[in-house]
Amino acid sequence: MLLVEDIVDTSHTLKHVLNLLKTRSPASLKVCSLLNKKERREVEVPIDYVGFEIPNKYVFGYGLDLDEYWRNLPFIGVVKEDVHLEGV
């Protein structure tokens, strides 16, 4: 089984999902993530395939939303640190 993630951040949800899937006794279980934020990791999980390692920045676009906006952009953008997200 290949579990495909858009982004791995703290890993709490991913750890829970992996534990659940392991109870089903798959022949193999691998994780693939487009983006990996190692700096934010709170729970260690195996990530077998990583597209890009990224710093601890808020990203949006290419399926990732920013307050329900900009999910449909054909690229991944980074929020500037001085931007206030209220009223986006």
Query: In the structure, what pLDDT confidence band is assigned to residue 70 with cuts at 50, 70 and 90?
Result: confident
pTM of the model: 0.82
Dist CA 2 CA 70 (whole Å): 27
In the chain, the amino acid numbered 20 is L
More confident residue, 28 or 61: 28
Instruction: Report, as residue numbers or ranges, the catalytic residues.
Output: 9
pLDDT at 50 over 60: yes
**Which of 17, 48, 18, 54 lies closest to 33 in space, CA to CA?**
48
More confident residue, 81 or 61: 61
Confidence of residue 84 (pLDDT cuts 50, 70, 90): low
pLDDT reading at 83 higher than 60: no
